[in-house]
Structure 1
Amino acid sequence: MDAPGPWKTSGHLEAEGADTYSLDVDERDELCLWAGLNPSGPIAVFREAHAIEEIKAVSEGIAEAIRQHHATPDQG
């Protein structure tokens, strides 16, 4: 994990043989999921979550975006 950001955390996800993913908060206070091999911008964007259900939805959305990106031909 990197130093805390506006959402209280930020960081990177890495797996051997896969793309590297990072999470950070942009100037609109939205959580952006970036893929190292995708230079065109974030692969997913999420609004700040407060309730447990919203936090669960964000984590599920991150996992789904990574699965989708990883399944795309020519991606990590």
Structure 2
Amino acid sequence: MTTTPNPAQALQQHAGAAIITGPWPTYSAFRNLPERQRWTLYGSAKAYREALELQGFQMAETYDAFVRRVTEELDL
């Protein structure tokens, strides 16, 4: 996962909730790992997103777009 943090872009306030607009971590560097490890990374990505949401963060990227992006990057 590589990201280039940009604090001015990463969080926006919306009705008292922080909305994370990116940049998003990328997983394409892990595309050549064995399939089992790529599935483990996918599960970790979903768990991390869920943990942020449980803490009250909202993602600008929809869940469907997140799943589509990560599975494409991991070639799953």
TM band (smaller chain): 0.3 to 0.5
Q: Quick one: higher RCO (CA 8 Å, sep 6+), 1 or 2?
A: 2
For normalisation by structure 1, the TM-score amounts to 0.38
For normalisation by structure 2, the TM-score amounts to 0.38
More strand by share: 1
